[in-house]
Structure 1
Amino acid sequence: MNIMLWNCRGSGGATISTLKRYLRCTKAVIAFISETRCNLDVAIKRVAELPLCNFFGVPSVGMSGGLWLLWGDDVSVKVCRSSKFFIFAEVNGKDGQKPWGLIAVYGDPARSQNVRIWEEIEEFIDQCDGYACLFGDFNAIRSLDEKSGGSQDLGSSNRLFDDWVRQMGLLDLGYHGPAFTWSNSQGGAANISQRLDRAMSTVSWTMSYHETTVFNLLRFSSDHSPLLIRTKPKPLRSRRTFRCEDWWGLKEGFTRVCQKAGSQGNSVWSETKKCFKKEVK
């Protein structure tokens, strides 16, 4: 199952085009889009252009916030609760696993509501029997390793976030790709970058989806990177590259083998290579 999340910072035409490309390239079956900055009437028109056919939205407050949860027909999603900071849902996929709790988060940029958000998340995790995955823009970091530039004081709100993650026993699912998911897009010494977007899960969820991999993708049309959560890794193709070793030329009969392969391949390189491989095996 592929899940994509992105703080898009507005859902105008260029953003929708970028989002459409992201969804097609990642083959996401679930997508969480935050800070859409639009009401539900506009949202319904814009999501109609996207490849995922099912939709639940939380309208923005003026030009602030706005959340979308999108999913395809390959998965069953039941929205249980929502606010301007989160969407809680139950997911029932076709992977043979039991239903699990989806917690899509948009942390309070002002940080004042974070404690209340965490309390709501705790309650929902309890309702899911501790079987849940959390992801989104938490608007917080856990350590100074997750920040580049700016003040090197972690701050009380970030320390509280790290304490809460530890107390809940949540596991950070890590990432591949760029270390920071947000940038103020300033140049030189004025640049500040942070890992504000992440995916975490409870221990029981991780045990069921232990092969889950998270990718921080490249940023376009927003100051946040999209994230791709892949609950089962894509199998690598087993393809060995044929190489001609230098020392083969020292072996007796090597020139004869090359000449024979060339004549059988009719001087066409791809055919000659095939004939050569047969001769040297």
Structure 2
Amino acid sequence: MNCIFWNCRGTGSKALPGLVRQIQKRYNIDMLALFETKASGEKARQRSTNMGFMNAEIVDAVGYKGGIWVLWNEGVFKIQVIEKFEQGKQWPWIIGGDFNAILYAHERRSTAQGPSTTDRDFGNWFENMELIDLGCNGPFYTWKRQGCESQIDRVLANNQSMNAFPDATIKHLPWFKFDHRPILYQTKNEEPQLSGDRPFRMIAPWILHEDFARVVKESWILNADWTILRTFVIFSLSVFVM
């Protein structure tokens, strides 16, 4: 089972459905959770049908704030939306998304003076619920803006979930024109799917793009199952195609 948790910062972009379908195909995604969709009502439902998934559960935004879409396909597993229930620690929990808070000071890096501070309420909730941070493969920071980077997007689980999915992994995917990275959760480690066996070709406009040096640097610190080729295919799709 492969799931992505992503703060997409709005769903109004015409490029978003095509980008989601590319990601779905490349990483064989079974479930996609989008946060900060900033859409509600019939408009949200119409947009969600263009994402390439069979089923959708939507929480409407309030004005232009918030909004959650959970999209999935039948066959691999079943999702049942429970409106209200008594939370019990005996259930396997997987909680992912943009928490807008950090657990440790090193999870934020900024050009501003002064040390980074953690969110005490978030830390207390994390400890009281006896959750486990699943860590990540790939670049550490998941959000960036104006000289600040932080790891505010993450996936948490409890012991029951760890026992149910002992081989689960987390990958921070490349930036896709948004300031949050998509977070890929996999119960089994799988290679991204590339179409055909095509030779690598250097495209001259790559080196003129402001993010080119960062993409090259990050490709060396990604997990072993990534390659330069995959990184540049995704880079080219997100920058020059969409």
Q: TM-score, normalised by structure 2?
A: 0.73
Indicate yes or no: 2:27 matched with 1:64: no
Superposed displacement of residue 81, structure 1: 2.1
For 1:80, what is the secondary structure of its paired residue?
Answer: coil
3-state DSSP of counterpart to 1:81: coil
Q: Which runs of structure 2 are paired with 1:1-281 in the superposition (5 Å)? A: 1-12=1-12, 13-74=14-75, 75-81=77-83, 123-124=86-87, 126=88, 129-149=90-110, 150=112, 151-155=114-118, 158-184=119-145, 186=146, 191-234=147-190
1:234 CA displacement: 2.5
Q: Which runs of 5+ in 2 are unaligned?
A: 192-242
Deviation at 1:148, TM superposition (A): 0.7
Give me the whole-angstrom Cα distance separating, in 2, the residues matched to 1:225 and 1:153: 21
Q: Which is greater in Rg?
A: 1
Paired with 2:58 and 2:41, the residues of 1 have a C-alpha distance of 7
> What do the CA deviations read for 1:120-164 (whole angstroms, capped 9, x no partner)?
xxx53x1x6242111111111001111111442415xx1221222
Q: Aligned partners of 1:172 and 1:204: how far apart in 2?
A: 14
The answer on whether the counterparts of 1:18 and 1:221 sit within 8 Å (CA) in structure 2 is: no
Instruction: Kindly report the root-mean-square deviation, in angstroms, between the aligned alpha carbons of the 2 structures.
Output: 1.9
Q: How many residues align?
A: 188
Q: Report the residue type matching 1:55 in the other structure.
A: A
Deviations 1:27-67 (A, max 9, x none): 11111000111113112211222221100101111111111
Q: Quick check: 143-152 or 33-42, which moved more?
A: 143-152
Could you tell me how far apart the structure 2 residues matched to 1:54 and 1:40 are?
16
Cα separation, 2, equivalents of 1:220 and 1:233: 22
* TM-score for the superposition, normalised by structure 1: 0.63
Q: Percent identity?
A: 30
Q: For structure 1, which runs of at least 5 residues remain unmatched after alignment?
A: 83-87, 89-122, 236-281
